[in-house]
Chain A
Amino acid sequence: MELYVSEFSKYVMALLMFLYTYECFAVFRYEEEERRRGIYTRQKLLMFVFHFSSFLVICFETGDITYLFFYAFQQIVLYAAAALFVMLYPRINRLLINNMCMLLSIGFVILTRLDLNKAVKQFIIATGSLVVALIIPFFMHKFSFLKNLKWVYALAGIAALSTVMILGQTTYGSKLSYSIAGVTFQPSEFVKIMFVFFMASALYQSASFFEVFTTAVIAAAHVAVQVLSKDLGSALIFFIVYVLMVFVASRNFFYLFAGFAGGSLAAYIAYKVFTHVQIRVQAWQDPWSLIDSAGGYQITQSLFAISSGGWFGLGLYKGTPESIPVVETDFIFSAIAEEMGILFAIGVILICVSSFIMFMKIASGFSDKFYQLIAFGLGVTYIFQIFLTIGGGTKFIPLTGVTLPLISYGGSSVLTTLVMFSIAGGLQIIKQDEEEREKEERKKRMNAKKKRKKAAISKTQPLIEYDEENMSEYQADKDLYDEEER
């Protein structure tokens, strides 16, 4: 019986995942949230079935029914969070809310399988973080002075990172965290958000050479502190976010190329100067010859895990993902691939990509450059971190040791990502306000034009000449007006 359940469940999981990710991209067929409602409902249903059946399998495999209680708590919290977001902010982007809950539940499932204690801790932290995340859109909406705090963000960020560098605890050769009253913080996670805010507030008015230069100095300080703390992953994230935000703010390709050229040069120098960088690169090129050293051992164990699962995975509890060092944080993707299968793991990647595309969609429609840059910067931070962790764990790129947002174990990471998602969700509300204001204005203009036209017709009779530009603008306004009438 148990065998049938575990064999059958593998295919069910893959199917649920496939359907869920399909819906993730089906969302983009429609522009209005209204018309996406059906999709969101189906996603919620799929999420529920996945979450419940995964825990059912866990109960079967462990022979311990009490896991269902743990599941029940998770279900209540996730359901309540999703419902509250929608209740408090009816216009929030629900794809982001759904994906957030789906990724959290995948994380709960795999963490429960790996280490129940950590899963419980993660659950408690996620619950607290969701409460924090719930009030974020409100703040975003009300506090427009956030735009003017650029030096606060910059100094707070560098100060937080430097504190860790000087006082921090060393984990796996990197200084990442410090403890206050027994709670361990990993400030580089929070600083990522602050850095995006800094960049946006520095560049939203103008992205001339002066701003690009001053932000470069601050960005370089962030990167340098991270490199010295041996946290190469975060250093890379700050760098990429800097280059891409400057590119979008300035709309100048020169900065993009200059940024990558400078980055390559810096990477080359870092490779020559720092032995810990060299070790990472060697372990990437040929992990098999370094299998006995720490760097090579991790990545080879991760590759064993990824390759042993096949398309549908070995099934929960059927593999040995615990043989990978720090599997719950840096290599959680490999554990998913081993026990839930490559297809499921690719589904996880696709959920992350669809969230990223949604961030970008929110950003691209904004007229307000500050908010646009925030949405863009957070999206890039999010997706690039995923690229680093999954690419690193699969030997696609050198390993940098960052977490998989919302899935990996780690309170700071979960809180930061939830805040990022709810900021983006909140931005969607601001954007809709903005759009509505624009529509109102258009309507007014339209009416005014109509009046003028009528007046003109009645006065002088035809032969009114519109220049091309005016005409298309007029037509555009008219279209929007018509659409609204419908």
Chain B
Amino acid sequence: MRKKGRTVKRKKKNREIMLVTWGFTVLFLVMMGYIAHYSVTHQQELINNSYNGRQKMLLAQNRRGKIFSADGEVLAQTVTDEEGNEKRQYPYNNLFSHVVGYASNGRMGVEAQANYYLINSNAPLSEKASLDMRNEKYPGDDVYTTLNVKLQQVASTALGVYDGAIIVTDPKTGQILAMVSKPDFDPEQIESMWDDLIEDNESSVLLNRVTQGLYPPGSTFKIITALEYIRENPDTYQNYRYQCGGSITRGEDRIQCYHGSVHGSVDFTKSFAKSCNTSFANIGLSLDRNSFEETLASLLFGQKLPVSFPYGTSRVDVSESTSEADMMQVSIGQGTTSITPLQLNMITCAIANEGTLMKPYCVAYVQNSVGNKVKEFSPSAYGRLMSQEEAENLKGLMEDVVQEGTATRLKGLSYTAAGKTGSAEFGTVKGDSHAWFTGFAPVEDPEICVTIIIEGAGAGGDYAVPIAKRLFDAYYDT
């Protein structure tokens, strides 16, 4: 009886109208999903856009929140004087200039990254209500970073008067513990210095050299050349032998070992430990260009990096048409190759962390005025840059650099270390070189990873390795 009743109704339905009804309904469902998704995922990005007037509105309503170090030291705060004028204070002045950044005349560093949280207030309603009564602003949310004041101080002091960059990270979590770029500046003075800073193109004070400085990687790039050689010859790379006579020539192009050294008979491990340019140029000549190009892409050269702050794009020019001369240059990290200290640190971290790269980050969590967490950023993996076995092999090579190679100043300490030095030649004057070191400690279970570059200092083993030692010492002293 009921069943029959339904056939009556169905007779009256119009299939075409039903189709159109469903078509529009589905279209609207998709659109609603899109709107909800878009608005929620773009909330922060859009509020930071300088065309968005809502920032001003929020700042008129809330006092910019504080920025803290991992151990609770104030790195930035806004104070209001008796006349109601607001001033942003940076208690450590120059020390955190690039990483914490500034918030007037544009924004930079954590001040830029976490701007959305700093200008919003999640203070409890009761507090807001009582502030309303007194006609005061609401406190913006506070941002806690992963930065360690002590390591930052050691890094800054160690770099001294040199220009350069240091980044210290935890390879297991991707947390950035210290980030120093020199020359630095005092963010409190940014407004008065602004015009000078903008005019001064030479020293590029405002550039964060860790994330945006593009340097020739020099011998540190041999890590990547070695990885490619291992990938191409997984079973036989240990059988590699080469007689180093101090130089290698292909046509008109000639590659020499650093400071004219002659390494004699070397195997793969020793080529790496002694940083033998001639041997690595020889290895470079044997590499498959297509496969090398893929490896470079997998190490994020010329790619987007999984970080939420601005960065420079590292690049290596290898393609099918790369000439032999250029291949020799590439494999020792010279020529047109350029890399940011950040990227080298990420690759080193992946080696230390069994091949998996953790996304680097420096904002740990956000708290409201009464200490409730508003937002927490947990460590997250970007993915694998290399297999566990490859990471293990590279780690072995880097350990030998410390044991019997160019970084022996890190040998025989209370902790074990591994790394790779570099002395990257730049400019036209022969002998001018940036001192590089990238490495980690302890070898058994790496928990701190450092990458150092000192501009124009000389050999990495002489200048960069001692700084690494001071950082490791400071880390294990705590």
Residue of B nearest to A345 (CB): B35
Residue from the set B28, B34, B46, B132 with the largest chain A CB neighbour count within 10 Å: B28
B448 to chain A, nearest CB (A): 39
Residue ID in chain A nearest B15 by CB atoms: A251
Q: Which stretch, B47-55, B215-223, B306-314, touches the partner chain A?
A: B47-55
- Any B CB within 8 A of the CB of A387: yes
Does B14 make an interface contact (CB < 8 A)? yes
Measured CA separation A396–B28 after assembly (Å): 11
Within the complex, which residue of A7, A310, A345, A349 is in contact with B40, where a contact is CB–CB below 8 Å?
A310
Determine if A57 is an interface residue (Cβ-Cβ < 8 Å).
no
Interface residues on A, range: 35 or more
Contact of B12 among A297, A364, A483 (CB under 8 A): A364
Chain B residues with CB under 8 A of A372: 14
Whole-angstrom distance between the alpha carbons of A443 and B49 in the complex? 70
Quick one: which of A121-137 are within 8 Å of B by CB? none
Known A-B contacts A4-B129, A363-B17; the reply to A310 vs B43 at CB < 8 A is yes
Residues A326-385 near B (CB distance < 8 A): 337, 342, 345-346, 349-350, 353, 356-357, 360, 363-365, 372, 376, 380, 383-384
Binds A, one of B3-11, B97-105, B283-291, B371-379: B3-11
Whether the pair B7, A307 counts as a contact (CB closer than 8 A) is: no
Q: What mask results when residues 34 to 45 of chain B are scored 1 for a CB within 8 Å of chain A, else 0?
A: 111011101100
- A323 near B: Cβ within 8 Å? yes
Whole-angstrom distance between the Cβ of B158 and the nearest chain A Cβ: 41
> Of B28, B54, B128, which contacts A320 at CB under 8 A?
B54
Q: Which residues of A contact B14 (CB under 8 A)?
A: 248, 363-364, 372
Contact in complex: A346, B32 (CB < 8 Å)? yes
Bound-complex Cα distance A414 to B173 (A): 58
Whether A309 contacts B39 by the Cβ 8 Å rule is yes
Chain B residues with CB below 8 A from A2, complex form: 132
Q: Which residues of A contact B38 (CB under 8 A)?
A: 303, 306-307, 394-395
Judge whether A479 and B4 touch: CB under 8 Å: yes
Nearest CB on A from B41, distance (A): 9
Given contacts A3-B128, A300-B51, contact A337 B16 (CB under 8 A): no
B47 lies within 8 A of A308 (CB): yes
Name the distance in Å between B127's Cβ and chain A's nearest Cβ: 10
- The CA of A383 and the CA of B20, in the complex, are separated in Å by 11
Contact (Cβ within 8 A) B54 A475: no
- Asked whether B161 is an interface residue with its Cβ less than 8 Å from the other chain, the reply is no
A472 at the B interface (CB under 8 A)? yes
Chain B min CB distance to A261 (Å): 17
Q: A248-B14, A251-B16, A337-B39 are in contact. Are A360 and B21 (CB under 8 A)?
A: yes
Task: State in angstroms the CA–CA spacing of A328 and B4 once bound together.
Answer: 52
- Closest B-chain residue to A346, C-beta based? B32
Give min CB distance, B61 to chain A, whole Å. Answer: 9
| A342 CA / B36 CA spacing, docked (Å) | 7
Residue of A nearest to B13 (CB): A364
Per DSSP, chain B at the interface is helix
Most buried by B among A307, A383, A396: A307
- What residues on B are CB-neighbors of A301 within 8 Å? 51
A248-B17, A395-B38 known; A303-B46 Cβ under 8 A: yes
Q: How many A-B residue pairs have CB under 8 A?
A: 130
Shortest CB–CB separation between residue B368 and chain A, in angstroms? 15
A204 within 8 A of B: no
Q: How far is the CB of B123 from chain A (nearest CB, A)?
A: 11
- The verdict on A483 contacting B43 (CB below 8 Å), with A346-B35, A364-B12, A395-B38 known, is no
Cα A267 to Cα B417 in complex, Å, equals 65
**Partner among A320, A357, A476 whose Cβ is within 8 Å of the Cβ of B53:** A320
Which of A291, A337, A342 gathers most chain B CB within 10 Å? A342
Which of B8, B18, B28, B39: most chain A Cβ within 10 A?
A: B39
Point out the residues of chain B lying under 8 angstroms from A225, CB to CB.
none
Query: Whole-angstrom distance between the alpha carbons of A353 and B32 in the complex?
Result: 11
Interface membership of A456, Cβ < 8 A: no
CB of A480 within 8 Å of the partner chain? yes
A480 touches B8 (CB 8 A): yes
Taken together as a complex, chains A and B put the C-alpha atoms of A337 and B17 apart, in Å, by 31
Nearest A residue (CB) for B56: A320
**Do A3 and B125 touch across chains, with their CB atoms under 8 A apart?**
yes
CA distance A253 to B54 in the complex (A): 49
Q: Which residue of A lies closest to B125 (CB)?
A: A7
Q: Is the CB of B39 within 8 A of A472?
A: no
List of 4 A-B pairs having minimum Cβ-Cβ separation, nearest first: A360-B21, A304-B52, A307-B46, A364-B17
Given A308-B46, A346-B32, A356-B24, 11 more pairs with CB closer than 8 A: A304-B51, A304-B53, A308-B52, A310-B40, A310-B43, A337-B35, A360-B20, A364-B18, A365-B12, A383-B28, A476-B7
A–B complex contacts, Cβ < 8 Å, 16 sampled: A1-B129, A2-B132, A244-B20, A247-B16, A297-B51, A304-B54, A309-B39, A323-B53, A342-B35, A342-B40, A357-B25, A372-B14, A383-B28, A384-B24, A395-B38, A480-B8
